[in-house]
Structures are given as structure tokens and as C-alpha cells.
Amino acid sequence: MNVLTNPLSMFDVKDKVALITGASGAFGMVAARILGGAGAKLILVAGNQEALDEITSECRDMGAEVTAINKRPLDEETCNGLVAEAVEAYGRLDILVVASGMNKVALINDMAPETFTSVMDANVTQSWLLARAASGQMKAQGEGGKIVLVSSARGLLGHPAGYTAYCASKAATDGIVKALGCELGPTGITVNAIAPTVFRSPLTAWMFEDTDKAKEVRKGFLSRVPKGRLGEPEDLAGPLLFLASKASDFYTGHILYADGGYTAG
């Protein structure tokens, strides 16, 4: 099929097998809805059983085939096991979306070393372990694959309010993406990241409110955003589908900033 005469076929993920970690979080839920709604078979992984049940039920109501796993990708054995469970359920793995992670905010002299290490472990080491496990399976299949990590505008830009751990972890995530993009390029596996700035989620809902504090914070933040607004979950949908589909076959090692132009100025 000539994609130039049937361009929408480039975004077809129907029956692709997608493993999504952090599926109960803000970005993980977006990924589950978008890929499930587009016809992918889902393995949804999350540590919060109640929230995992909710997104699993929602995706099944859309007609998606879903396997739910109540775990966190804490170590090598678990990460390898998640890929094995995906293969056991559906026979293969085509897409990995790592939406799990954490942020702990404190000024450097107030942050315990173990806190810094915990953020680095959740955002960097676990992403590396998942990419390691998934890429091994994808290479064995011999048909390429899609690995999508979640970075942040904070991987590029600093922040004065106690973000040393988070900024360092996302800069390291960007490094993994670039290095693996080079390493896995010949295999047909693409490795990219979506890097949002502030978008609507349970953690940021207060910034969207009509309070004096929210208005003041928004005013300062939006002075740096050319699009003039905060992000919405649907702003992440297009970039994700692009990176998870054939449309991005020639794109690897990239950090795609979903930020309304925040990092451009």
C-alpha cells in the first residue's frame, strides 16, 4: 500500500500490542485511551489497583482488548516479567510506553540523598530496564518496534523551586533516548520521548482554577508560552499516536516537546 495515497494508514496501530506502564497516571491514561481507541491490544501496568481497574474498564468499554497488571516496574526481574506477560497474553510486543515515574520537590539543602536517588531510580533506571526488556523482545521478533519514554521540558530547562532531582532525571531520560536511538536504529526499533510542559492532570488541576494563587502562577507561566494556554490531555494524543505508529519510522532519538512553544523562546 502506498502511504502517499493513503496517508492515514501510517497511523494505524490496530492489533498492535502496546505495554503501558504508569497506566493509572495522567499521561498513562491518555496513552491507554488513545492506543486502545485506535485498536491496539493493551497491557496496562500500574501500582494503584483502583485506578488501574477504572482505566481498564474504560478501555474495555471502548472495545479494546486489555490485560491489566497491578505492579510497579521496580527492578530488572519485574520489568522482564512484564514483557514476558505481554508476550504470553498476545504473542508479541510492538509498542512500549513508559509513563511511570515520580517527582519529589525540595531545595538541594533540604533534599535527602535517598530522595534524589529515588527520583533517579523511578525516572531513569526503570525506564532503562523497561527499554532493555522490550527491545530484546522486539529484536527477537525481527519486525522493529516503538519505544516511547516520557521526558519533560525540565529535561532541557532548569527550575528554581527545588527541581534538581526531576530536572536531572529527565535530562538523563533524554540521554537514554538519544543513545538508544543510535544503538537500535539498524534494528528498526525507534526510541523517542514526549516532553510535556504543564498540562491538566490531578496534580496540576489547581493551576486551572479561578483562584488568586492560580491566576498569579498562570500569568507568570503563560508569559513564556507562545500558545498562551496550559496543556490539555488531548494535546498529547497526536504526538503519542505519531511516535507509536509507522508514521514515525524515520524518527528516532528525538525529544518531542508538547509545550505550546515554551522551550522555543
- Which three cell numbers, joined as nine digits, stand for 208? 486551572
In contact, 101 and 155? CB cutoff 8 Å? no
Nearest to 159 by CA among 151, 150, 168: 168
Active site annotation includes 166? yes
Amino acid at 44: L
Distance CA 201, CA 66 (A): 23
From the candidates 163, 166, 257, 262, give the one annotated as an active-site residue: 166
Distance CA 167, CA 218 (A): 21
> Alpha-carbon dihedral of residues 251, 252, 254, 260, nearest 10 degrees?
40
Distance CA 214, CA 139 (A): 47
Distance CA 242, CA 236 (A): 10
Amino acid at 217: V
Instruction: Dump strand ranges (E) for 30-138.
Output: 41-45, 66-69, 95-98
Catalytic residues: 166
